[in-house]
Amino acid sequence: MAVSAIDISRTLSGIDFPANKQDLVNHARDKNANEEIINVLQQMPEREYNNMADVEHAFGEVK
């Protein structure tokens, strides 16, 4: 399965911003995301994300 931006958005719905990379990973794990989504999030840059648009931009860099 290829992970899409929609998958990331759905997985991270409800997260409180700002959030760092570990916050994203923890939130995804709490929502029982599959390992592919977790792996993509773990590859994202270490920085603070202010909103979903920031996350989607970083996701585009990882893909």
Label residue 35 exposed, middle or buried (CB < 10 Å: 0-12, 13-18, 19+): exposed
| pLDDT score recorded for residue 1 | 61
Domain boundaries, the chain: 5-62
| pLDDT score recorded for residue 16 | 98
Supply φ then ψ for residue 48, to 5 degrees: -90, 130
The CA distance from 50 to 36, in Å, is 23
Its pTM stands at: 0.93
Segment 9-61, tens digit of pLDDT: 999 999 999 999 999 999 999 999 999 999 999 999 999 999 999 999 999 99
| pLDDT score recorded for residue 62 | 87
| pLDDT score recorded for residue 10 | 97
